[in-house]
Chain A
Amino acid sequence: MNHTRRNFLKFAGLTAAGLCVASAGGALAVSGAGSTIKDGEKALKAKRWGMVIDSKKLGTKEAIDVLAKACHSVHNVPNIPGKQNVKWIWADSYEHGFDQPNNYMEESVEKRQFALLCNHCTNAPCVRVCPTQATYKRPDGIVAMDYHRCIGCRYCMAGCPFGARSFNFMEPRLHLDLATLNKEFPTRMRGVVEKCNFCVERLAMGKQPACAEASNGAVVFGDLSDPASEVRKLLREHYTIRRRPALGTEPGVYYII
């Protein structure tokens, strides 16, 4: 064979291309040869998950604390006394939760407590500001978090107009009852932000969210995009409001007043 520079370059080029193809093939075959992934048979699915809370039925702190306890025990949420507490669902007044409190409000609404939680907004500011995409929007409308990626910058807390996010200022395990942890769900670690996840892990197993289950029908969860769903039926039949609609975040949690 004629040893020219051209032949040498051709050979070198082919070898390099071959090596690239071989290593790319190796990198693709990570998750076990012949394996596939799929959804569970029982998984609940929707185009847009949403929630309707009947504040007439669920209007006292005691009643909302029952829901908070159910939620927080399922998700291993610590109870830290003081300003650094972590909360996924909590109780507060109309004045603190909603726009334009009327000076002369009806007494029952004025004194009523409302169950507040992450609204899973359609245009969620927390998703937009998150620099690592640790907070992201799922196609079914749930604003979910990947705690592996959270760097604790707290932009999302500044972005959220509903105060729905809590920062772990300290190791949450110090304030958890370690004997009664839910061993099917992780805890969080110091330095990450956390919030309600609309119980994605329960929906995937065909279960309703923990708060809806504990509420005796005062909290209804379902598909907002399906006109035949129970949430849409409630929205048709009752007067409902959302928190701070003027901001345009399009919350997915509705309150029957």
Chain B
Amino acid sequence: MKLYNGGKIITGLVIFLGIFLAPLAYNVGKAAYTQPKLKMPENEKECIESKDFMRTKHMQLLNDWRDFALRDGTRFYVNSKGKQFEMSLQKTCMKCHTNKAEFCDKCHLDASVTPYCWDCHIQPEGLKK
């Protein structure tokens, strides 16, 4: 069997593999990714739902809350333990999580997601020009 244009093909493959594997080579020896340390509220130990639920589902929860509060006009949420909360990002969530930069942004930056909440909602730190 003869490989036509073998030189070009093999050079091409080597360049391709080089580029393809460059990120792996670049990260060799670096520490593995760890979840960022969040600044948790000092006065409150329990969030409205379990930590696991909040970590994976807070975006759906906020989506639901927005529709319940605005569309249906029903503004209170009773969690599985029977505790009642007003469905409000600014008046409920951010009353405990008093620092957006130390809480929201930590994971969102790492995960490279840019939610547009704060285009309108006011972060607890306040706004600066």
* Residues of A bordering B, CB below 8 Å: 30-40, 43, 76, 136, 138-140, 144, 146-148, 173, 178-179, 181, 183-189, 200, 204
B80 located at the interface, meaning its Cβ lies under 8 Å from any Cβ of chain A in the complex: yes
CB neighbours (8 Å) of B119 from chain A are 189
Query: Are A178 and B126 interface neighbours, CB within 8 A?
Result: yes
Query: Are B75 and A40 interface neighbours, CB within 8 A?
Result: yes
The CA of A188 and the CA of B61, in the complex, are separated in Å by 22
Query: Are A35 and B77 interface neighbours, CB within 8 A?
Result: yes
Q: Which of A30, A43, A183 is close to B75, meaning CB atoms less than 8 Å apart?
A: A43
B108 located at the interface, meaning its Cβ lies under 8 Å from any Cβ of chain A in the complex: no
**SS of A interface (majority):** loop
CB neighbours (8 Å) of B49 from chain A are 32, 35
Query: Are A37 and B74 interface neighbours, CB within 8 A?
Result: yes
Query: Are A138 and B73 interface neighbours, CB within 8 A?
Result: yes
The CA of A189 and the CA of B77, in the complex, are separated in Å by 27
Q: Which of B72, B120, B124 is close to A183, meaning CB atoms less than 8 Å apart?
A: B124
Q: Provided the pairs A184-B90, A184-B91 are in contact, do residues A37 and B68 lie with their beta carbons within 8 angstroms?
A: yes
Query: Are B86 and A40 interface neighbours, CB within 8 A?
Result: yes
12 pairs, A vs B, C-beta closer than 8 Å: A31-B77, A32-B57, A34-B80, A37-B77, A37-B87, A39-B73, A39-B75, A40-B75, A40-B86, A178-B128, A181-B122, A183-B124
Chain B, 89-129, contact with A by CB distance < 8 Å: what is the 0/1 string?
A: 01100000000000000000000000000011110101111
Query: Are A37 and B122 interface neighbours, CB within 8 A?
Result: no
Shortest CB–CB separation between residue B121 and chain A, in angstroms? 5
Shortest CB–CB separation between residue A95 and chain B, in angstroms? 36
Query: Are A146 and B71 interface neighbours, CB within 8 A?
Result: yes
CB neighbours (8 Å) of A34 from chain B are 79-80
The CA of A33 and the CA of B53, in the complex, are separated in Å by 10
Q: Which of A32, A39, A181 is close to B74, meaning CB atoms less than 8 Å apart?
A: A39
B19 located at the interface, meaning its Cβ lies under 8 Å from any Cβ of chain A in the complex: no
Shortest CB–CB separation between residue A159 and chain B, in angstroms? 21
B38 located at the interface, meaning its Cβ lies under 8 Å from any Cβ of chain A in the complex: no
Query: Are B78 and A189 interface neighbours, CB within 8 A?
Result: no
User: Taking CB as reference atom, which chain B residue is nearest A178?
Assistant: B127
CB neighbours (8 Å) of B129 from chain A are 178
User: Taking CB as reference atom, which chain A residue is nearest B91?
Assistant: A184
Told that A37-B87, A189-B120 touch, could you supply 11 new A-B pairs with CB distance under 8 A? A30-B64, A31-B64, A32-B49, A34-B79, A38-B76, A38-B78, A76-B122, A136-B71, A146-B66, A148-B66, A184-B90
Shortest CB–CB separation between residue A69 and chain B, in angstroms? 19
B35 located at the interface, meaning its Cβ lies under 8 Å from any Cβ of chain A in the complex: no
The CA of A184 and the CA of B90, in the complex, are separated in Å by 6
Q: Which of B78, B122, B124 is close to A187, meaning CB atoms less than 8 Å apart?
A: B122
In chain B, positions 52-75 with a C-beta closer than 8 Å to chain A are 53, 57, 60-61, 64, 66, 68, 70-75
Query: Are B122 and A144 interface neighbours, CB within 8 A?
Result: no
CB neighbours (8 Å) of B64 from chain A are 30-31
The CA of A32 and the CA of B58, in the complex, are separated in Å by 10
Query: Are B71 and A39 interface neighbours, CB within 8 A?
Result: no
Q: Which of B78, B86, B127, B128 is close to A35, meaning CB atoms less than 8 Å apart?
A: B78
The CA of A146 and the CA of B71, in the complex, are separated in Å by 8
Query: Are A36 and B91 interface neighbours, CB within 8 A?
Result: no
